Structure formats: C-alpha cells, structure tokens
Amino acid sequence: MSTLSAAKAVLEADATLLATATGGIWDYDETGRLGISRTTTPAAFDSNERIKPCVLLKLRNRRADGELRDDAGQYSSVSEILEVWCYEDTGYSNIETMRDRVYALLHAQQLTGTFQTLWVQDITQQRDTEIDASVERSDYQVFSSRSVS
C-alpha cells in the first residue's frame, strides 16, 4: 500500500471528518495534475457548481533522510511530504474543522507501511482562483524506508 493510499484510507474511515468533508476525500491519482476541478471531480461540487468542503491529498517525492542506512543490505530510511489540501466555497470554518480533524488522525501516527507521520506546517487563508474557492494546506512528513524486497 502506498503512503498516499494509506493516508486516504485513514481519512476516509473517519465518520467525523466525512461529516464535514461532504465533497469527498480525493487523491492525486484520481484528480491528476490539475487537482480538484469541475471536470475531474464533479462530485466535489454542488448543483450550482460551487465546491463542497473537501480534501485533496498529494505526495511529494521520497528522499533519503540519512537516519538509517545499510548499504550492504540496500536499506535506507526515507521521508516524504504528504500535502493535505482542504477546500470550501467561501470562508474557512469548514476548512479549519477538517484541518483540525486531519491533524488528530495523522500527527504522530503510523500509517500502513510507514514509521511515523508528523505535522510540519499549515499554509492558511489562501484562494484557489481556478475554481473560486477558499483553500488551506497542511504538510505532514512521513517517515518510511526503501529496501530491496
């Protein structure tokens, strides 16, 4: 299971988060490089084409973190940044609720196939002009390993 699918599984299993994220929880594999849009994720929008509160997950590249390394065994500890984008039409109250719930679900937790997930930062009070929506992003550093199977 990939880090992205493991994080998505945790978030989608939480009824409290889903009660606010009525537009769903999406990942980069579903949306492609353009992210949330009326074309790629129509279920994230209401009948008036306004975005519902929703979450988009993206994963940055893995990199060696230098913590654990065994060259002979071809083992290396790695980290990657999980980006959690929270959207809503206007304002930030639903976004803050979703962001806080995601923090409770991910920070200092172990996802399937990883060691630990730690909150890094929030980028708040942003606007997505493409879909005319409020958006905020939280970044989580996910620690795992790479080795020869």
Q: Which helix (H) or strand (E) holds 96?
A: helix 93-106
- Residue 87, token pair as written in the block: 């959207």
- Which of 52, 81, 49, 76 is closest to 65 using CA atoms? 76
Amino acid at 113: G
83-128 pLDDT, tens digit each: 999 999 999 999 999 999 999 999 999 999 999 999 999 999 999 9
DSSP 147: E
- For the chain, the structural domain boundaries read 3-144
Cα 96 to Cα 69: distance, rounded to the nearest angstrom:
38
CATH value of 3-144 in 3.30.420.40, 3.30.2000.10, 3.40.50.300, 2.40.50.100: 3.30.2000.10
4-20 pLDDT, tens digit each: 999 999 999 999 999 99
23-79 pLDDT, tens digit each: 999 999 899 888 999 999 999 999 999 999 999 999 998 887 767 676 776 778 889
DSSP 52: P
How confident is the model at residue 1, as a pLDDT? 65
Q: Which helix (H) or strand (E) holds 5?
A: helix 3-12
- Which of 36, 35, 61, 64 is closest to 50 using CA atoms? 36
Q: Which helix (H) or strand (E) holds 78?
A: strand 75-88
Cβ neighbours for 18, distance < 8 A, ≥ 6 positions apart = 12, 25
For 35-48, the three-class secondary structure string (H helix, E strand, C coil) is: CCCCCCCHHHECCC
